[in-house]
Amino acid sequence: MGRLGEMIWEESKKMWEIAGPAILTSVLQFSIGFVTVAFVGHLGFIELAAVAVSQNIVEGFAFGFLLGMGSAVETLCGQAVGAGQIHMLGIYLQRSWILTGLTALALTPVYIFTSPILKFLHQSDEISEVAGRFCIWVIPQLFAYAMNFPLQKFFQSQTRVWVMAAIAAAALALHVLLNWLLVTKLEYGLAGAAIAGNISWWVINLAQLVYLVSGYFPNAWTGFSLLALRSLTAFVKLSLASAIMLCLELWYYTAVILLVGSLKTKPEIDVDAVSICMNLEVWTLMVAIGFNAAVSVRVSNELGAGHPKAAKFSVVVTVSTSVLLGILFTAAILIARSEFPKVFTDKPVVIRETIKLGYLLAATIFLNSIQPVLHGVAIGAGWQSLVALVNVGCYYVFGLPLGALLGYRFKLGVVGIWSGMLAGTLLQTIILTWITYRTNWQKESFQAEERLQTWGGQSEHQRQPHNVNGFIEN
């Protein structure tokens, strides 16, 4: 028992070195959107609903695709660090920038034509018009995401995350100040909120770029290289698999907003209530995403180094820690479910509708303490394609149809739609838990070596020989 306790303690320290600042960074960066909703929520029903639709449907669509494309860097950089191939990290980063930049360009028309797209999806005309204008104003944030996500994964793979957290904290403080100035003081409304968001996101990018080129990564970053243009086809395969896996996850919540917005009665109030819950749910999800980053880095590092038992042990420790925090968040929501809506709105009818969703929100938060961490395992091990198939079945074949049936056919409205979403998430969590439990980690270690040679560019490097270290052996 003493030996096991020592192992858990050592693994927990390694995990928290990544998860702590990663959680802080995720929470701070998400809080930029959180602050925007808080300021806009006091402008009126339509403004709040429009920003909610913009963030959860249009920006969520783009955010998911770009974050997924950037997650290929997470797999390859993490495994390259474990294999001692630090010189490849900068090349992977540049390849990812090429792909995410082109993806952002391809997604720009979605922002430009948001209004007709939302109307085609049976959203309220008034909400669609306002959301359309807002999305055009926040196009600079689309390209900020394209630069930011690969850069974050580059830093995380080397456990350089505290600087990211400090930058995010400074940007959030600036964002609050800008919103107060532009939205409240100068009364620029939604345009002011968009400008504040654009400035804040690009401040984050510029600060991170300065950190990148300031000499702190002498082996991983040696400047721009034409090698980034090689093996792009192979790199695209992993990037697309990552993007599809993550998009199917994030678009699930987008689809829920669409279903709620199509309800025949009081769509503005329903969308406002769901968006408030979604914002709070995603805020707690940022904590799980910190563990997602930690387990992804730990698993990819250990598999790259040829330590399959260490990878498996890291999964157990990280999932257990995240679940404990999830229980605390669930309890907090249940206790405060009558109070948290007042942070976003002073409209009594919206507050009442939001309170009704408190129990479903609490259950969703608990499941989200498990499921994103298992996604991190998938990214670290390179299972993106498999998890994408699981997401399709659980979410789009089971969860959404069930939600639509409960919400429309059985006239349960928002509660029915959310219940269906929750059922799909529960099924997905059970399946991912089973897959992780049944994994042959020795086989995954061999596949990590093949992946570095194939998707990283076979001719560029060979895996360095490694010794089995310490207390967790091959």
> pLDDT averaged over the chain?
84
Q: Distance between CA 66 and CA 155 in Å, rounded?
A: 17
Which pLDDT does position 454 carry in this prediction?
Answer: 60
pLDDT of residue 61: 79
CA dihedral 22, 60, 247, 316 (to 10 degrees): 30
* 3-class SS of residue 125: helix
Q: Does position 173 have pLDDT exceeding 50, yes or no?
A: yes
Q: Higher model confidence: residue 451 or residue 306?
A: 306
- Phi, psi dihedrals of residue 344, rounded to the nearest 5°: -100, -25
User: Which DSSP state fits 464?
Assistant: P
pLDDT band for position 474 (50/70/90)?
very low
pLDDT at 148: 93
- pLDDT tens by residue, 317-333: 999 999 999 999 999 99
DSSP structure string for 145-172: HHHHHHHHHHHHHTT--HHHHHHHHHHH
**Mean pLDDT, rounded, for 346-369:** 88
Nearest to 273 by CA among 193, 347, 369: 347
Closest CA to 118 of 190, 66, 57, 37: 57
More confident site: 199 or 450: 199
What proportion of the chain, given as a percentage, has pLDDT over 70?
Answer: 93
Give the predicted TM-score (pTM) of the model: 0.75
Number of H helices, E strands in the chain: 19, 0
- Which positions ≥6 away from 346 have C-beta within 8 Å? 42
* Residue 439 per-residue DSSP state: -
Out of 73-77, 301-305, 457-461, give the one with best mean pLDDT. Answer: 301-305
Q: What's the pLDDT score for residue 453?
A: 67
Residue pair 36/340 in contact (Cβ under 8 Å)? The answer is no
Summarised one tens digit per residue, pLDDT across range 100-109 is: 999 999 999 9
3-state secondary structure of 162: helix
- Lowest average pLDDT, out of 157-171, 194-208, 267-281, 346-360, goes to 267-281
* Phi and psi at residue 459, to the nearest 5°: -85, -5
Residue 215 has pLDDT above 70, yes or no: yes
Q: What percent of the chain has pLDDT over 90?
A: 32
CA distances from 293 to 137, 159, 329 (A): 31, 10, 19
The domain segmentation of the chain, as residue ranges, is 7-454
Angstrom distance (rounded) from CA 50 to CA 209: 33
